[in-house]
Amino acid sequence: MADPIKMRVTLAGDVATVKALIPHPMETGLRKDPVTNDMVPIHFIHHVVASHNDKPVLDAQWSRSVSKNPFLEFRVRGARSGDRISIRWEDNRGASGTGETVIK
């Protein structure tokens, strides 16, 4: 989980469009490792919270069906330049990560 969340925010009026890429393998538990031929254990982000200036605006529950290196786009209303957008995730093994960006 060394790779940080990548975020891009564009502001149009007071609506901030947030696009994020969360580096994560999102293993379904249904795939064989092509080298060892063992099943790769299930490993996926199951919970994501996005916040605007620390106030949660999006609370998402995910399954293993979300793609590898998940992409998430959402729109925050009432946003202004200088506001902070943050994303926090947790996976089924209890690992977590956060990312934050300031709206330009």
Interface with other proteins (CB under 8 A): 3, 6, 8, 15, 19, 21, 23, 28, 30, 46-47, 49-52, 55-78, 88, 90
Query: Least CB distance from residue 98 to other proteins, whole Å?
Result: 9
Distance, CA of 17 to CA of 10 (rounded, Å): 5
Q: What's the rounded Cα separation, in Å, for the pair 72 and 86?
A: 13
Q: Chain-centre distance of CA 69, in angstroms?
A: 8
Smallest gap from Cβ 66 to other proteins, in A, equals 6
In whole angstroms, how close is the CB of 41 to other proteins at the nearest point?
16
